[in-house]
Amino acid sequence: MGNMHVSELNAGVGPLAAGAGAASAEPIDAFPRSRLPVAPVLSAASFWRHPVGGARVSSVLDAGPARFVTSGRVAISLALRQMGVGGGATVLVPAYHCASMVEPVIWSGARPVFYRVNADTSVNLDDVASKLDGTVRVLMATNYFGFPQALDTLRRFCDAHGLMLLEDCAHSFLGSYAGRPLGSYGDYAIASSMKFFPIYEGGCLVSAHHALDRVTLRSAGLAFETKVAFNSLEDSFEYGRLPLLGALVKLPLWLKDTLWRGIKARRQPGAPSLAPGSSDGGFGFDPAWMHKRSSLFARAVLRLVSLPRMGQLRRRHYGQLQAGLAGLPGCRPLFAHLPDQVYPWVFPLWCDEPERVFRQLKRAGVPVIRFGEYLWPGVDRTVCANSVELSRRVLQFPCHQELSAPELAWMIEQIQGALKAQKAGSS
């Protein structure tokens, strides 16, 4: 594969060692490539706009004006800038997080302070209240895995305490809460479109309450535009989608790879990157991408992909995973129920012995993800025991709209086998 998607790269390795310890000592390249796509890849059906029973699906883009950037972490940095957050300020960040949620806060000059989440990932408002002082400016709240927080309650809390609410929709591009689209409760909201759409890069900043006129973006250049389009298509071809197109562009792709190797060989150390590190699973916040616009290719896909199809299939696949894994030993779904108007990013599964299950599935080529596996240094059980347990024990499996029926059935069978083997091994 010419490039590996961010979700796959983050699935088992990272730069930060959590207080709880890493789930797997094996580097990510010790495992084979996933046998089915971790994230959506383009297919002929991606643009089908009339699913059976399809209804309108809300998205963060319904919340207000948007600016399309290359990643969610860039959108966080822009939101903090719009909020006027800088040195001397404190941003309250959930203790269950990935590094991409924290790095922009530090870059802004603010201090991240981690608050507790409950066992169901909801915000522990008592703990948030205990951390309020004269420096706290922003509460960052995450709709984990596509399941919204009690956003109306959070909005009232922030209004009562003079806080700004940053609604993190990186896991929840689609959906609504209490009749309003996700993203509309925060002063600002951010989303990660590359988790939901078949694109190589993409994120957005949205605000239902403030103008975004001061957020000016520019093109990242022709090399970036070309790389995004080719890499998005290449991911599709790797998993057997669009085979006719793949055959037609085989030579151009070979030429692209040859050209890119030459460019990389001639690049000087410290030269600007041709694509954001977030697209290739990189860690760290690169401010050089703060004012770069998402590619034409990615923005076109956002306009053309069918949201009703995406929402319907994500819910259907989630339900099939839930039914297929029900009653198996040593596991339970993190969320027992899939509410209406919730369109999940992934299927999160709590496992009693996650390390053994994780390694077996990765060796089999199952695309298993571990959000929050590496918590920020110092975030341990004394800060939030629930976050440590969630980071260690919750494995996530794709339920995106581009999984075929045989791929989904194979994945469910592999997970069933790993969980049964776990039970037999512990007997």
pLDDT of the residue at 281: 56
Q: Are residues 105 and 234 in the same domain?
A: no
Domain presence at residue 319: yes
> Is residue 422 included in any domain, yes or no?
yes
Assigned domain for 116 exists = yes
Q: Considering the chain, what is the average pLDDT of its residues?
A: 87
Task: Name every residue whose Cβ is closer than 8 Å to that of residue 188 and which is 6 or more positions away in sequence.
Answer: 79, 82, 83, 164, 166, 167, 205, 206, 207, 209, 210
Judge if 68 and 198 occupy the same domain. yes
359 and 244, same structural domain?
no
What's the whole-number mean pLDDT along residues 9-35?
54
Residue % of the chain over a pLDDT of 90: 72
Write the pLDDT tens digit of every residue in 38-57.
999 999 888 876 555 557 89
pTM: 0.88
Residue 247 counted as domain residue? yes
Strand 164-169 to strand 90-94: parallel, antiparallel, or no bridges (unpaired)?
unpaired
What digits encode the pLDDT tens for the residues 82-91? 999 999 999 9
Domain boundaries, position 251 = 222-285
The pLDDT of residue 374 is 93
Q: Is residue 50 part of a domain?
A: no
Domain of residue 129, CATH code: 3.40.640.10
Decide if 48 is inside a domain.
no
The pLDDT assigned to 5 comes to: 39
Is residue 211 situated within a structural domain? no
- The verdict on 380 and 259 lying in the same domain is no
CA dist 252 and 259 (Å) reads 10
